[in-house]
Amino acid sequence: MDNTRRLKNYKPSQFKVPGSVYKQKFADASVMFINQLKHGTGKWRGMPFELIDWQERIIRDLFGIVEKKSECRQFRRAYIEVPKKNGKSELGAAIALLLLCADAEHGGEIYGCATDRAQASRIFDVAIHMIDQFPALKPYIKMSISQKRMTFKPLNSFYQVCSAEAYTKDGLNAHGIIFDELHAQPNRDLFDVMTAGSGLAREQPLLFMITTAGYDRHSICWEQHERAANILNGSVYDPTFYPVIYGADDDDDWTDPVVWKKANPSYGITIEEKGFAMEFADAQINITQENRFRRLNLNQWVRQENRWMPMDKWDLCNFHIDTKELEGRACYGGLDLSSTQDMTAFVLCFPPLDDDDKFIFLPFFWLPEDSLGTHIKNDRVRYDQWIADGFLETTPGAVINYKFVEKKIEELADIYEIREIGFDRWGAHLMRQNLEDSGFTMIRIGQGFGGLSNPTKELLRQVLENRIAHGGHPILRWNMENIVVSEDAAGGIKPDKKKVRERIDGAVAAVMALDRAVLQENNESAYNEQGMLVLDPTHPDGYYRG
């Protein structure tokens, strides 16, 4: 029986270099081995693992393209980024078994890596099910389920599960590393430990990274994603790195079924169209799920895990602000003081003069001058351009000069009638005292659910009702896009700085400023008069007034 599936119109990878050749016999042997495996769970249990075209292309490229002289594989690292339910775990398990049993590597060390033991065990467990249904292979495998380890006795090679929560050793001599869901790695420690020794003693080691898109652009996964993307667009040359990225482009219409199919190479095969459409419908109804759908189902890198601020609605509030017309008007401030080396934000909120007017935000931001370069590098944001455009100021030195901020607030008070300033008490004792001595009314606003829940919900309500004017300030927009909220048992919400690495200082300052503006400009709280905004995924708008 010929178990070799021939991919129609297959052409070796565009990244095959002149010093390499495509050896069909190597590719065929790899495909034949995998085609003898069977699925182990669900409706697919017992069915042959027939590689889907995109999967077979990867196998033929990785195992068929070799260096002419040594016949060792050209590609030593593979980065495969694809949405969920496209068959990532099955492909990872098949490659792990291929490296373990059919790569002729005596004493081969194959490691399955992920964030925690449970995640790392997913591909391992898939591999176990495949072996259970492979009678010709099963007698040669020694299992240690408790240790999550299997050994192929003829080669004395093993496949071992590792996780970020339990890695222990340096000096590993890996022949194969399967990194599952790389985006979820909490840091780069496990990645560095696992890859440090790979390639030093092995002839053709393979690091196989397979993941969905993430949202942390400071992660090891983003680093590998960027390398893959740059190789694909031709700006980086690395003949040992094999890049595959399936997903929707940033400017694609995420509601278009054509884009769904483009982003998912197994669409209509392992992904049922009806079920996919249902997940899309949920994401449309519930704005907090849109980013999750775009990340997991369309493989787009998003700014936050669970979307809170609908940025299309925020952008509709880009009304022109004439600062001259605001002179002398009453307003309320929100002050979010950073740690000494981070961004500090101060936002003025001007309440509406009548029913046709809007809440107007006027934001101000500061960074320490001496650490500007570090912030540009670490945050990957063009702070220097924002300075040139007048949206950001620097204070002298390596830390925030609070005197500089105080002086700016005092200058603003000469132009506008600042009635109150809401502030976070953290690190603000001296500054609060100085501003009070200068005649300002300072109101401490707790940063827990009690202090921030109502004004956070009010901000969303005003945005959805197009009652905010922000003038398109780019830093404030960036901060709003970065917001992730936490929710307590009573339904209270608050911006959570611990859940996001990008800055949200301006958003928090805006929430505090709006809080003072709403409470003080109404004899009775606007929260009671107009009703609170309640997020509800079953409601047509995704929210209702409670």
Mean pLDDT of 19-44: 91
Query: How do residues 491-535 score in pLDDT, each as one tens digit?
Result: 788 888 777 767 899 999 999 999 999 987 664 344 444 444 444
The reported pLDDT for the residue numbered 528 is 45
Q: Domain 20-245, CATH 3.40.640.10 — does that match?
A: no
Model confidence pLDDT, tens digit, residues 425-471: 666 678 888 999 999 999 998 888 888 889 999 999 999 999 999 99
* Number of other CB atoms surrounding residue 398 within 10 Å: 13
Task: Specify whether the CB–CB gap between 459 and 284 falls below 8 A.
Answer: no
Task: Give the whole-angstrom CA distance, residue 507 versus residue 461.
Answer: 15
Q: How confident is the model at residue 251 (pLDDT cuts 50, 70, 90)?
A: confident
Q: Among 524, 541, 48, which residue's Cα sits nearest to residue 313?
A: 541
Give residue limits of the domains in the chain. Answer: 20-245, 257-307, 312-545
Q: What is the pLDDT of residue 117?
A: 84
Coil, helix or strand for 50?
Answer: coil
Q: What is the pLDDT of residue 339?
A: 64
User: What's residue 539's pLDDT?
Assistant: 43
Q: Name the 3-class secondary structure at 208.
A: strand
Q: Is the pLDDT of residue 472 over 90?
A: yes
Per-residue model confidence (pLDDT) at position 249:
93
**pLDDT (tens digit, 9 = 90+) per residue, 291-330?**
889 999 999 998 666 668 888 899 999 999 999 999 999 9
* pLDDT of the residue at 531: 46
Dihedrals phi, psi of 66, to nearest 5 degrees: -130, 160
Give the model's confidence band at 116: pLDDT under 50 very low, under 70 low, under 90 confident, else very high. Answer: confident
DSSP, residue by residue, 394-461: EESSSS--HHHHHHHHHHHHHHSEEEEEEE--TT-HHHHHHHHHTT--EEE--SSHHHHHHHHHHHHH
| Of 105-114, 266-275, 528-537, the least confident | 528-537
d(CA 344, CA 506): 8
Tokens 């010709």 sit at which residue? 136
Q: Is the pTM of this model over 0.75?
A: no
Which pLDDT belongs to residue 485?
83
How many Å apart are CA 94 and CA 38, to the nearest integer? 10
Over range 3-27, report the average pLDDT: 87
pLDDT score for 532: 44
What per-residue confidence (pLDDT) applies to 427?
60
Model confidence at 101: pLDDT above 50? yes
Q: Given this model, what pLDDT does residue 341 score? A: 66
Q: What percentage of the chain reaches a pLDDT higher than 90?
A: 64
Confidence of residue 113 (pLDDT cuts 50, 70, 90): very high
Torsion, CA 258, CA 261, CA 262, CA 265, rounded to 10:
-170
**What pLDDT does residue 312 have?**
86
* Band (277; pLDDT cuts 50, 70, 90): very high
CB 376 within 8 A of CB 398: no
Rounded distance, CA 279 to CA 291, Å? 12
Most trustworthy range by pLDDT among 3-7, 71-75, 160-164, 165-169: 71-75
Percent of the chain residues past pLDDT 70, beyond the cut:
89
Q: What is the pLDDT of residue 305?
A: 60
Quote the pLDDT of residue 376. Answer: 84
Nearest to 482 by CA among 380, 371, 332, 367: 380
Does position 170 have pLDDT exceeding 70, yes or no?
Answer: no
Q: Does the pLDDT value for residue 135 go beyond 50?
A: yes
- Average the pLDDT over 95-114 and give the result: 95
- Tell me the pLDDT tens digit for each residue of 473-486: 999 999 998 888 88
- Give the pLDDT score at 169: 57
What local confidence, expressed as pLDDT, does residue 166 receive?
59
pLDDT on residue 306: 61
pLDDT at 218: 77
Into which CATH architecture does domain 312-545 fall?
2-Layer Sandwich (3.30)
pLDDT at position 288 is: 64
pLDDT (mean) for 370-397: 88
The pLDDT of residue 171: 60
Q: What is the mean pLDDT of the chain?
A: 88
The maximal CA–CA distance of the chain, rounded, in angstroms, is 90
Model confidence pLDDT, tens digit, residues 189-239: 889 888 876 555 688 999 999 999 988 777 899 999 999 999 999 999 999
pLDDT, residue 379, reads: 77
